[in-house]
Structure 1
Amino acid sequence: MTRQRSHAASPGGFMAALWASEPSSASARLLAAKLAGFRGNRRQSRTWLATNSVYLKVIGAGFGRTGTTSLKTALGILGFPCYHMREVIKNQDSQNWIDAKLGKPDWDRIFDGYTATVDHPSTDFYKDLMVRYPDAKIILTVRDPEKWYKSASDTIFAIPTPPFYFHLFPFCYLPGISTMIKFDRMLNVVIYAPNATFKGAHKDKEAIKRVFSEHIESVKQHVPPSKLLVFSVSEGWEPLCKFLEVPVPNVPFPRVNDTAEFNHHVQFRVRLIRNVNFVMGSTTIALLAYAGYYVWKQYA
């Protein structure tokens, strides 16, 4: 679903997008009808939009590598456009998430165009999102801790991070590359740092497994049972659709983003960082060799 960040300034455009977007739900039509009543008062329409145009119905509280991409796809099939880690890059939202970690969130800006969110970084803020969207239902995706660690260590934990000298290369300021660098900063600030979700423990197998298990128990304790679905994607459509009160679709439950597929998506990033490390390392060795040769010639 294409995001339309300018809708709040143009109620007519927002209405057209609502009627044209999917799903063509009763709630979307009700919103469009409400806006139609505000046509004669632009200030009133903008005020109403500011507080009602973005509303999450589903909040995912499970860590990445617990089937969150499959769940995102499933929610889309059920009519819930879903935000995911991939949208952070697509929508260039890294700074918005850093701001949220620093206590300055703009949730309606981030989730404009979505009615659901799963995966990091939103799962790291599920408590805050429950306050902002109190009627949303919470889905906690779970997995055996050992299998989760194996999947995470083969994928998200295995991706190299850009070295501190990465910004010295002029091409790093190209739009796509600079977006990646901002994304890496967001990952560290929101997820990997000692004061973030993984508590700096992702390089210690037993410690990160404890973080994973403690997070699951924390969610179960914090979320009222009536609003919580503890869900394994291996369970398929039935418990998910019952929880969301929607019909079971006549299609197989999606199974996407396994280890091989994930690594295929990130191979450009991995090659880029490794090549930069090789070039910088080779350049450093060459300069040191030349400096040594120069000194030797001066004093030989």
Structure 2
Amino acid sequence: MKIIIASMSKCGTKTLHRCFEILGYSVADFDYHAYNHYHEWKTILEYGSRKEQLHDMYKNVDVVTGSPVFLYWEEIAEAFPNAKVILTTRKDEITWYRSLSREIPKCHNSWTIAFCYLLTPTGIQLRHHFDRVARVLYSIKGWGFSRKYDCSNMEIIIKRYREHNAGVLSRCRQDRLLHFNFCDGWETLCTFLGEDIPDEPFPHENKHGQLATSMWVLPVYVRMRREAYVIMAIIAILIAFLSQHFL
């Protein structure tokens, strides 16, 4: 493992993800953590982490990013002492909070997601994972059919953001840390990585919070959607059967 992206969600992490894909790195993002390491993260979020466990989880990928990895950047840095750390931040705390508080409901509070979270095996697993992440990261209450994720505790959420960024900047060894500004583009990023500048424009992903729609192409969400189609087909067959025999 080569790179730890310590940035909190809504700090350009999807753009960094795309940057590393262009550079040929393998990237583990939030969907990878939730699906491939569900049980490990359940243990870590409830009881704490071990360096050996984190090493085994991510020894075969180049880059880690997304929640809940950023909260454990320091433990992962200990597990991979040669890995570099990248931190990105927003121009101010209120801008970041507004972006986060818009995207979380868009991604998790629709009726489509509600159906998947309640009735599909993959959706149930994702819901339990995101419940733990929301509680630990932002003190957000768990998802429920009549209670969706609520980001109204602005003071607590901003405090977590402020403390996290300050912790990375103060505790990470400066020769392995890049506090990256996207305006600096490929030159600064590639110099830090020791990579050649690619012959592609610097990307800009998740514009205007498009993750709520684009996430449906991710493998774990494709699997969840397929399970939903199967369940809907079974429900339709049962309704047809009952209609023929009892109505």
- Amino acid across the alignment from 2:10: R
Change (3 A) 1:239 1:210: same
Deviation per CA, 1:113-169: give whole Å up to 9, x if none. 31111121111101101111111110011112222112111102555569xxx8xx9
State the partner residue of 1:135. 82
Residue among 132, 153, 163 paired with 1:214: 163
- In structure 2, the residue corresponding to 1:178 is in which secondary structure? helix
State the partner residue of 1:252. 201
State the partner residue of 2:126. 180
Output the CA distance in 2 between the equivalents of 1:60 and 1:210. 20
- In structure 2, the residue corresponding to 1:80 is in which secondary structure? coil
Coordinate RMSD, CA, aligned: 3.1
- Amino acid across the alignment from 1:137: K
Output the CA distance in 1 between the equivalents of 2:136 and 2:11. 19
- Amino acid across the alignment from 1:87: Y
What does 1:43-62 correspond to in 2, within 5 Å? 56-62=1-7
Output the CA distance in 1 between the equivalents of 2:21 and 2:215. 23
TM-score, normalized by length of structure 1? 0.59
Deviation per CA, 1:60-93: give whole Å up to 9, x if none. 111010000110111122122111112234x342
Output the CA distance in 2 between the equivalents of 1:171 and 1:235. 40
TM-score, normalized by length of structure 2? 0.71
What does 1:1-300 correspond to in 2, within 5 Å? 56-89=1-34, 91-101=35-45, 102-105=47-50, 106-144=53-91, 145-156=93-104, 159-160=107-108, 172=118, 174-193=120-139, 202-265=151-214
Once the two structures are TM-superposed, the CA of residue 237 in structure 1 deviates from its matched residue by: 0.9
Output the CA distance in 1 between the equivalents of 2:162 and 2:49. 29
Change (3 A) 1:234 1:171: closer
- Amino acid across the alignment from 1:208: I
Change (3 A) 1:87 1:264: same
- In structure 2, the residue corresponding to 1:156 is in which secondary structure? helix
Deviation per CA, 1:219-257: give whole Å up to 9, x if none. 111011111100133332111101111111010111111
Instruction: Say whether the 8 Å CA contact 1:70–1:233 is kept in structure 2.
Output: no
Deviation per CA, 1:159-193: give whole Å up to 9, x if none. 5569xxx8xx9994533322332333332354233
Shift >6 Å, 4+ stretches: none
The one of the two structures with greater contact order (alpha-carbon pairs below 8 A, sep at least 6) is 2
Instruction: Say whether the 8 Å CA contact 1:155–1:259 is kept in structure 2.
Output: no
Instruction: Say whether the 8 Å CA contact 1:71–1:233 is kept in structure 2.
Output: no
- In structure 2, the residue corresponding to 1:155 is in which secondary structure? helix
- In structure 2, the residue corresponding to 1:127 is in which secondary structure? helix
Change (3 A) 1:120 1:160: closer
Output the CA distance in 1 between the equivalents of 2:116 and 2:13. 35
Residue ranges of structure 2 left out of the alignment (5+ in a row): 141-149, 226-247
- Amino acid across the alignment from 1:68: T
- Amino acid across the alignment from 1:221: S
- In structure 1, the residue corresponding to 2:104 is in which secondary structure? coil
Output the CA distance in 1 between the equivalents of 2:196 and 2:116. 53
Instruction: Say whether the 8 Å CA contact 1:97–1:186 is kept in structure 2.
Output: no
Bigger Cα Rg: 1
Output the CA distance in 1 between the equivalents of 2:32 and 2:25. 15
